[in-house]
Structure 1
């Protein structure tokens, strides 16, 4: 595997450096970022029916979570 030198702005360098782990190279960071998938890659993964079921399940989970949070807040406040 060869190497290349590239020029990037100081701002881009700072952003990459902030994303870099302690034992990670800049090449590792760039490969990780370049390999990220777009949410658009998921288009067509579910049928419309499956999508509706998933949406409904997520809404139910959120509603139960909000209810638990409200109940917990009431217990904490002593109401």
Structure 2
């Protein structure tokens, strides 16, 4: 296994050194810290800042309203067409 040399600011080195356990190498320390902080990508999934969340809610609400209005309009048009078609099929229409 190879090794790499990395540069650290003095303050970061001191913080790491303070967290290092007796008999623990810096490699083991960094490995332990990385394991402890291994985030689950799902933890923050779907979170938005409040302002963006509010804006998204408004967009979704408007979209739902427009969709609902459009569906109602198309339903009414379809019902009108069907009711007009019923008169033609029952023979009540004169030619």
TM-score (norm 1): 0.47
TM-score (norm 2): 0.39
